[in-house]
A = this chain, B = another copy of it.
Amino acid sequence: MTPTITAFANSPDRGQGQARDMRVRWALEEIGQPYDVRLVSFGEMKQPPHLALHPFGQIPTYEEGNLALFESGAIVLHVAQRHPGRLPEDANARARAIMWIFAALNTVEPPIIEWEQAVYFERDRPWYQARLPLLEKRIRGRLEQLSRRLGEADWLDGAFSAGDLMMVTVLRRLEGSGILDGYPSLRAYVARGEARPAYRRAFEAQLAVFTASQG
């Protein structure tokens, strides 16, 4: 059964692959699962039909038969669990790969989101400039710890897993900020993720939505 995901009709990132549908597209490409995409406008996202799917009025969602999911972490985990090859077979290694999905979303991403929110929503507030160094310091603290754990390895725990997929998409949020420049091993880690054929296919698919919207 072909699943259907939702994505922004007009992504605010203009096709840079920063919207959270990118994570789900990438996961589906990694397992070679075709999918349909339903585009939703910002207006539609706050209307009852979409809220019935996603109570917080966001994208992506995932529909497959009687199953409807939201939360990119839950969707990526679901996709990876239902198909061989993107989570380790060994139970302990699998638990650790899932742990890295949570670490990406709960430990590494939150200070990045906080910084983004300041950039997007508090830029005209009097405290904006004074708070930025504080926010960047929180991010750097996490990146320092993450790069120490990654060390010289290609991926966080053995072979590439859904945990790496999620971590790469989280670190990509920093693109253009210069913050990643201080962590060459993390930059190389992100580049390894972006070089995967499944990543490229997912990226092109979301970029095509933006290109088409520009008519």
Where the two chains meet, the residues of A that have a C-beta atom closer than 8 Å to any C-beta of B are 51, 55-58, 66-67, 69-71, 73-74, 77-78, 92, 95-96, 98-99, 101-103, 105-107, 109-110, 113-114, 117, 122, 125-127, 130-131, 134, 142, 145-146, 148-149
Contact = CB atoms under 8 A, between A and B. Distances in A.
Given A78-B95, A127-B127, A127-B131, A103 B71 contact: yes
A24 to B, nearest CB: 13
Chain A contact residues: over half helix, strand or loop, or mixed?
helix
A91 to B, nearest CB: 8
Contacts of A98: 74, 77-78
Given A67-B92, A92-B67, A126-B127, A74 B56 contact: no
Nearest to A147: B55
13 contacts: A51-B148, A56-B107, A56-B145, A69-B95, A69-B99, A71-B107, A74-B95, A77-B98, A78-B98, A110-B110, A122-B131, A125-B131, A127-B127
Contacts of A117: 114
A111 to B, nearest CB: 9
A145 B102 CA distance: 23
State how many copies of this chain the complex holds. Answer: 2
A148 B110 CA distance: 25
Contacts of A148: 51, 55
A117 B56 CA distance: 23
A73 B56 contact: no
Contacts of A78: 95, 98
Given A95-B78, A114-B114, A127-B126, A103 B69 contact: no
A56 B142 contact: yes
Nearest to A113: B110
A55 B156 CA distance: 11
Contacts of A101: 74
A7 to B, nearest CB: 18
Nearest to A96: B69
